[in-house]
A and B are shown apart, each in its own frame.
Chain A
Amino acid sequence: MGRIDPAMMDRARTETADAVAPVLAVVQQPVAKVRELVDIAQGNLDLAKENARLREENANLMQWRAAALKLEAQSSVLHNLLKLPPGTPPVVRTEPVIAEPGGVYVRSLLVGGGAHDGLGKGQAAMAGAGLIGRITEIGAWSARVLLITDLNSRIPVILETTRTHAILAGDNTPQPYLMYLPKAATVNVGDRLVTAGHDGVFPTGLAVGRVSSVAGGEIRVEPLADLDRLEYVELVDNVAQSTLTPEAAPAEAHGFFENP
């Protein structure tokens, strides 16, 4: 007997997912409806409390908005000074989650779009607030997203404030951990993480999560997206990722970074 070809196994998986995708897409609709009704029923129960919380959050967000507008203006002025080309917004597609495979070992999703919808292997998957994973297998009509909590997920990230690089590694628990941090790095609970983009697969600067615990050299990260309740995911095309192409990087820019 010869060895089993991993590529053939991948193909078998995507072919199966493709074959089942239409069934799943149909069956998933009543399930989603029931979910929605349960959500509404739950929402009605503590409407007053929810309102109070939202009012407070809204007030808070208005302040953040003002801060963001100010920073955006400042950033565009600085971009002009550096002669950076304006960033092209990434191409984003939204696809429904059609299956959340059970099992103890794999953290992945099937989404109801594939190569025919312009999706490709390696694209980043986002849900609302943050990154949830990337496409690892692509069929014609379906794609498998490996979640950042999976044992095999390794994603280069940067700590947003200190710009320290690290690898975000999953271990099948709800909270992935940080690997390969420089020894001198200081990490505090609450620090935000964004994608580094050094792998050439992900766009840079996608929000991922925040540090939830630093204990005994183990740094755990709470994903920003709620991985337990995913209905739709946004898939970010990595073609239009780079805002800084080599020929567009002006010489002054280098000088600026070396001698601030």
Chain B
Amino acid sequence: MVAAPRTTPFHRLEQNLRKLLPLMISIVFAIVVVLPVGLPQWGILAPPLLLISIFYWSLVRPDLMPPTAAFLLGLFQDLLTGAPLGLGALVMVLVQWIMRGQRRYLANRPFFLMWASFGPVVFSAAVIDWLLYALFTLHALPILGALTRMVLGFVLFPVVAWVVLIPAHRTLPPES
């Protein structure tokens, strides 16, 4: 039996704070998307950063992105953007639930597999979002906006992953 590493209270606190990283990153992403960047049509094109974050963490560390967290993050996004309350929350919980089940096929596999599987997820999220909004308001909006956003999210996925998510993942303490 290997002796357990010596842990000081400070060390334990630090490890536990690091476990909040996925949540903090998701909150920051939700806020970044609403910043006024002054690009034409930004409102429509803003990439679904929160979706990317929840997708990634439910796949690699579902213990740090439980359904409750996904739900609350989705709700936070709805409140911030003024979207119908619960729409984003539902989509985020669905994504968390589906990706959690895919973990054994996708974790510790080449990155492009994960990227490829993000395609159908972001596509379904856009369609569900659009469909529910249409039912909610009885208004069929042009689906083009939702699709453009989805394509942009898909293209940006590796960038967001390499710049933010994967480095953050490396600093996390191992799963107990």
Is A bound to B? yes
Q: A interface vs B, CB < 8 Å?
A: 4, 9, 12-13, 16-17, 20, 23-24, 27-28, 31-32, 35, 97-110, 137, 144, 151, 172, 174, 228-231
Find A228's partner among B38, B80, B83 (CB 8 Å cutoff): B38
Find A231's partner among B36, B40, B46 (CB 8 Å cutoff): B36
Contacts of A174 in B (CB 8 A): 41
Q: Is the CB of A103 within 8 A of B35?
A: no
Find B33's partner among A9, A16, A102 (CB 8 Å cutoff): A102
Contacts of B149 in A (CB 8 A): 104
Q: Is the CB of A230 within 8 A of B80?
A: no
Does B139 count as interface, using CB distance less than 8 angstroms? yes
Does B90 count as interface, using CB distance less than 8 angstroms? no
Q: Is the CB of A102 within 8 A of B43?
A: yes
Can you name 20 A-B pairs with beta carbons within 8 Å?
A9-B85, A13-B85, A16-B76, A23-B31, A31-B37, A35-B37, A100-B42, A101-B80, A101-B81, A102-B34, A102-B44, A102-B46, A102-B81, A104-B129, A104-B130, A105-B83, A105-B133, A151-B137, A151-B139, A230-B36
Q: Is the CB of B83 within 8 A of A110?
A: no
Query: A69 to B130, alpha carbons, bound, how many Å?
Result: 52
Query: A17 to B37, alpha carbons, bound, how many Å?
Result: 18
Contacts of A23 in B (CB 8 A): 31
Which A-chain residue is minimally distant from B134 (CB atoms)?
A: A105
- Number of residues from B at the complex interface, CB < 8 A: 32
Q: B interface vs A, CB < 8 Å?
A: 31, 33-46, 76, 79-85, 129-130, 133, 137, 139, 141, 145-146, 149
Q: How far is the CB of B50 from chain A (nearest CB, A)?
A: 10
Contacts of B45 in A (CB 8 A): 102
Q: Is the CB of B141 within 8 A of A97?
A: no
Q: Known contacts A20-B80, A104-B130; is A28 also within 8 Å of B35 by CB?
A: yes
Contacts of B139 in A (CB 8 A): 151
Q: Is the CB of A27 within 8 A of B81?
A: no
- Max count, chain A CB within 10 A of own CB: residue among B35, B46, B129, B146: B35
Contacts of A99 in B (CB 8 A): 34-36, 80
Query: A105 to B43, alpha carbons, bound, how many Å?
Result: 9
Q: Is the CB of A231 within 8 A of B34?
A: no
Contacts of B85 in A (CB 8 A): 4, 9, 12-13
Q: Known contacts A102-B81, A103-B46; is A24 also within 8 Å of B41 by CB?
A: no
Query: A101 to B36, alpha carbons, bound, how many Å?
Result: 8
Closest 7 interchain pairs by CB?
A102-B46, A101-B81, A16-B79, A99-B34, A228-B40, A100-B36, A104-B145
Contacts of B38 in A (CB 8 A): 35, 228-229, 231
Q: Is the CB of B36 within 8 A of A13?
A: no
Contacts of B36 in A (CB 8 A): 28, 31-32, 97-100, 109, 230-231
Contacts of A151 in B (CB 8 A): 137, 139, 141
Q: How far is the CB of B20 from chain A (nearest CB, A)?
A: 17
Q: How far is the CB of A146 from chain B (nearest CB, A)?
A: 8
